[in-house]
């Protein structure tokens, strides 16, 4: 396997931070207790090349922490005498690096590969793991058993067996999507599967996670390294997963595991989060980490760079002050990150990320910058050419210049993306202080409370009409933490024409804030691009606003906000209703009677769900998940979103069948929340086997199945674009979902008429808080409108279910 020169770097800390304290876990070497590593106590200029070789040899063969102390002392002594580019400093930095890695690995000496993995899961705060069994992963599974000797009466990480690996992946996604911020560790979901079909069943969750930025670590067994070619349940796991992960790797030795796992969790959680895959040959799960194995790892990887075979390698780099350092180069295909070895609060060695030391413009490391934002601001000319770039902070002239542009805009809008989910209060202050309306993307629903008069709600293909109209009229678009996905822009060439015009005239334009530098000019060229987190951008701008006590904004945007109110009144999201019918029915006493019955739409059901939660004061305590279809977009439109990460859905990939898994994951990560799956029959049919998991584990989620006997979203497209030739969109033999729930021992509720909906919804939501409940709701087929037809501008919407002329060649994907 080949590695490019731009891969990952593990940087050695400076002497001040590279402090090794003797550890009881580290073996001492009598052979070197009294050995002098340097031949004198005078200036280091008297130190010879032999001294360095002795130190290198001692570390490679039997590391002691005193080695690192001597190496650090040597560096300090050399500083007065040698320039930063002296090769001897680089040699000593290399010795320090090897010493640091040896100390780091020594913490796991004597453990098997499987034990190291489990230890790393504990270190990274993992409390729940989903998965399925298989022969190739048995050594790792054994670590989770409560009777395993490693636990000694302590409660192990919670293991949950799912009905299949696909569901395990989606449950882990739901966990990672909803795990609360603010803890010691950033959110992440973890799943484990066996080799072969276990791995291939995870491909869809991995692709779903890479598309939507979901932090996920997938660990899979693999046939042993000495197994014959095409062995049972072997497959090219890394080749299969590389395109749908941020990093995919197969371990070559148990000695790699500490660094592999630390790196995997870092990459999954940081930058734009995403999935990471680690392939685990069975024999290496059983391999014991010995001093010889550690020595081999250091010698093989941390001498001369070996891009063909090495997992990590030394690479000389410069710190911000120009001093030399040695790095450990990890990663593949030009992807990698720099770290240093530190000791944490628990006195354990860890790899720790360091900020980007920016290179020249022609040698920038974008993968590094995408994970460690440079906190810079770039100004572009209207033609897209970069004018200047500088640091982004409160003292930045360009930050103040950008704020002045915001102040003068008369029709500004904020597009809040997923990058705002960790900063709802900062977003609220910014919007209210400047009196700017806020629209959100699907994954950002709730980061701005929709009870606010400034809330525009969701924008885009199935967004509310008002934000779609206002974006096209706006003179300044402030996009924070979103990538201008095609589902929110409509036809890109016709997107935000007034803002582009205002940019030409210097009175508005586009401000784009993103954690990934590679998003700059990817879809469109902004007036300003700020390479930072959404939270840091908002806090910096709010600090500048806070200093300006005389600034008044209401008079500038008041007409714009009045226009917003008129649009909301004139163009609401409409709820289809049906005429009440009189039908002959048999009552509970067995008597026949004529009763009124009113059929329901998916919209009316979701509206009732929303009403009851709001009136009960429970909306802030609720998390919703959806599958993909009309039920998904109707939920996005009609639920009043009040909290960030409240809506868990498959956006970019559009994966049907995820709602139940997401909901289980959300409940595992948020046991005190009401977790409600709003699903369609088509989506639910794909994964309802997880009802088994609900019953086995006692996971108290709410499952609402909006059953219209079909895939209505695609059916509507066939009506519009294929002359109503319907195919593969009707479910003519759906099960009785209440009977299905009963088969798994789960309570169910049924409703098929408006007259019964209020009572049935109340029973579903509030009567059984500590057990799973399934709510089967029969509805009529109604499309989800508005709809921005493919290839059309954002404000060209189908607003009502009437015959319309469309371009038959532009059917949605």
| Out of 122-131, 291-300, 301-310, least confident range | 301-310
What is the structure's pLDDT at 696?
96
Rounded-to-integer distance, Cα 528 and Cα 531, Å = 10
For the segment 379-407, what is each residue's pLDDT rounded down to a tens digit? 999 998 999 999 999 999 999 999 999 99
What residues form DSSP beta bridges with 84? none
Cα angle 523, 783, 625 (rounded to 5 degrees) comes to 70
What pLDDT, on the 0 to 100 scale, is given for residue 300? Answer: 83
Residues 659-699 have pLDDT tens digits of: 999 999 999 999 999 999 999 999 999 999 999 999 999 99
Q: Which domain holds residue 725?
A: 580-784
Mean pLDDT of 479-506: 94
Looking at residue 355, its pLDDT comes to: 62
Within a domain: 154: yes
Asked whether residue 330 falls in the same domain as residue 405, the answer is: no
In which band, very low, low, confident or very high, does the pLDDT at 359 lie, cut at 50, 70 and 90? low
Instruction: Assess whether 154 and 279 both reside in one domain.
Output: yes
- The per-residue pLDDT for range 171-181, each reduced to its tens digit, is 999 999 999 99
- Statement: residue 571 has pLDDT above 60: yes
Instruction: Report the pLDDT averaged over residues 446-452.
Output: 98
Give the chain's domain count.
Answer: 4
Whether residue 786 is preceded by a cis peptide bond, meaning omega within 30 degrees of 0, is: yes
pLDDT at residue 718, as a whole number: 87
In a domain, 756, yes or no: yes
pLDDT reported for residue 569:
97
Tell whether 142 and 276 lie within a shared domain.
yes
Secondary structure string (H, E, C) spanning 343-410: ECCCCCEEEEECCCCCCCHHHCCHHHHHHCCCCEEEEECCCCCEEEEEECCCCCHHHHHHHHHHHHCC
3-state class percentages of the chain: helix first, strand second, coil last, to nearest 5:
40, 20, 40
260 and 347 inside one domain: no
Higher confidence at residue 3 or residue 435?
A: 435
Per-residue model confidence (pLDDT) at position 345: 81
For the segment 39-59, the average pLDDT, to the nearest whole number, is 40
For residue 752, is it within any domain?
Answer: yes
655, 608 Cβ separation under 8 angstroms: no
Residue 159: the pLDDT is: 97
The Cα–Cα gap between 776 and 4 comes to 54
Under a CB-based contact definition with an 8 Å cutoff, are residues 357 and 317 in contact? yes
Q: In this predicted structure, what is the pLDDT of residue 233? A: 84
Is there a single domain that holds both residue 764 and residue 616?
Answer: yes
CATH (domain of 126): 3.40.50.970
Q: Is residue 5 domain-resident?
A: no
> Is residue 41 included in any domain, yes or no?
no
My answer on whether 90 and 133 are in the same domain is no
506 in the same domain as 633? no
State the CB neighbour count (10 A cutoff) for residue 46: 13
Q: Which of 376 and 585 is assigned the larger pLDDT?
A: 376
Would you say residue 23 lies in a domain? Answer: no
Could you tell me if 237 and 134 lie in one domain?
Answer: yes
Residues 674, 730 within the same domain: yes
Over residues 55-64, mean pLDDT:
44
206 in the same domain as 182: yes
Give the confidence band of 9 by pLDDT, cuts at 50, 70, 90: very low
Per-residue pLDDT tens for 122-147? 999 999 999 999 999 999 999 999 99
Same domain, 563 and 670: no
Q: Supply the pLDDT for residue 342.
A: 76
Lowest mean pLDDT, pick from 8-17, 214-223, 730-739, 783-792: 8-17
Residues 702 and 606 in one domain: yes
């Amino acid at each position: 396997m080949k590695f490019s020169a731009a891969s990952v770097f593990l940087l050695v800390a400076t002497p001040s931070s590279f402090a090794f304290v003797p550890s009881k876990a580290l073996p001492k070497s009598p052979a070197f207790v009294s050995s002098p590593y340097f031949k004198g106590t005078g200036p280091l200029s008297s130190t010879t090349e032999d001294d360095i070789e002795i130190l290198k040899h001692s570390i490679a063969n039997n590391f002691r922490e005193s080695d690192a102390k001597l190496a650090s002392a040597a560096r300090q002594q050399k500083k007065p005498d040698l320039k930063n580019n002296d090769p001897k400093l680089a040699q000593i930095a290399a010795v320090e690096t090897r010493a640091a890695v040896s100390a780091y690995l020594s913490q796991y000496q004597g453990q098997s590969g499987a034990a190291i993995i489990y230890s790393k899961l504990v270190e990274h705060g993992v409390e729940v793991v989903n998965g399925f069994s298989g022969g190739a992963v048995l050594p790792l599974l054994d670590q989770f058993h409560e009777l395993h000797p490693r636990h000694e009466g302590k409660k192990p990480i919670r293991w949950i067996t799912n009905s299949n690996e696909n569901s395990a992946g989606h449950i882990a996604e739901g966990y990672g999507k909803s795990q609360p911020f603010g803890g010691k560790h950033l959110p992440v979901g973890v799943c484990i599967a066996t080799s072969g079909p276990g791995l291939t069943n995870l491909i869809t969750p991995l692709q779903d996670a890479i598309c939507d930025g979901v932090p996920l670590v997938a660990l899979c067994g693999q046939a042993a390294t000495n197994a014959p070619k095409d062995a049972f349940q072997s497959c090219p796991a890394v080749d299969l997963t590389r395109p749908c992960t941020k990093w995919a790797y197969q371990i070559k030795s148990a000695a790699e595991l500490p660094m592999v796992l630390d790196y995997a969790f870092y990459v999954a959680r940081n930058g734009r989060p995403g999935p990471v895959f680690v392939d685990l040959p069975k024999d290496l799960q059983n391999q014991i980490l010995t001093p010889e194995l550690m020595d081999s790892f250091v010698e093989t990887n941390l001498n001369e760079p070996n891009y063909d075979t090495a997992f990590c390698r030394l690479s000389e780099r410069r710190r911000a002050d120009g001093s030399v350092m040695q790095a450990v180069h990890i990663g593949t295909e030009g992807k990698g990150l720099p770290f240093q070895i530190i000791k944490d609060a628990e006195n354990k060695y860890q790899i720790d990320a360091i900020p980007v030391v920016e290179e020249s413009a022609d040698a920038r490391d974008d993968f590094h910058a995408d994970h460690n934002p440079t906190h810079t601001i770039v100004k572009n000319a209207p033609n897209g050419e970069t004018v200047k770039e500088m640091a982004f902070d409160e003292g930045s002239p360009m930050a103040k210049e950008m704020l002045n542009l915001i102040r003068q805009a008369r029709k500004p809008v904020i597009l809040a993306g997923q990058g705002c989910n960790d900063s709802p209060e900062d977003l609220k202050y910014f919007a209210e202080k400047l009196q700017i309306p806020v629209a959100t993307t699907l994954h950002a629903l709730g980061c701005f409370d929709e009870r606010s008069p400034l809330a525009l709600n969701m924008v885009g293909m199935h967004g509310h009409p008002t934000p779609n109209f206002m974006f096209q009229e706006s003179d300044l678009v402030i996009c924070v933490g979103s990538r201008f996905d095609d589902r929110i822009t409509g036809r890109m060439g016709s997107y935000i024409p007034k803002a582009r015009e205002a940019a030409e005239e210097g009175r508005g334009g586009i401000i784009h804030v993103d954690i990934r530098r590679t998003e700059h000019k990817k879809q469109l060229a902004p007036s300003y691009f700020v390479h930072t987190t959404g939270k840091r951008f908002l806090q910096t701008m709010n600090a500048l606003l806070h200093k300006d006590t005389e600034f008044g904004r209401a008079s500038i945007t008041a007409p714009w906000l009045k226009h917003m109110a008129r649009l909301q009144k004139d163009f609401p999201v409409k709820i289809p209703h049906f005429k009440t019918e009189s039908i002959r029915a048999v009552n509970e006493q067995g008597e026949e009677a004529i009763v009124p019955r009113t059929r329901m739409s998916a919209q009316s059901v979701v509206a009732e769900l929303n009403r009851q939660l709001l009136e009960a004061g429970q909306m802030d305590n609720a998390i919703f998940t959806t599958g993909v279809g009309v039920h998904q977009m109707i939920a996005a439109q009609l639920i009043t979103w009040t909290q960030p990460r409240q809506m868990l859905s498959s956006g970019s990939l559009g994966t049907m069948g995820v709602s139940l898994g997401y909901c289980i994951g959300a409940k595992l990560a948020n046991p005190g929340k009401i977790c409600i799956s709003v699903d369609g029959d088509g989506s639910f049919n794909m994964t309802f086997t997880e009802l088994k998991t609900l019953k086995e584990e006692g996971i108290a989620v709410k499952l609402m199945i909006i059953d219209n006997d079909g895939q209505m979203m695609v059916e509507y497209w066939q009506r519009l674009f294929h002359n109503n030739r319907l195919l593969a969109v009707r479910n003519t033999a759906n099960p009785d979902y209440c009977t299905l729930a009963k088969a798994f021992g789960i309570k169910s509720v049924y409703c098929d008429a408006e007259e019964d909906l209020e009572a049935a919804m109340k029973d579903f939501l509030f009567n059984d808080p500590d057990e799973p409940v399934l709510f089967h709701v029969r509805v009529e087929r109604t499309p989800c409108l508005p709809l921005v037809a493919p290839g059309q501008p954002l404000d060209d919407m189908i607003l009502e279910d009437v015959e319309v002329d469309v371009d038959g060649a532009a059917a949605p994907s």
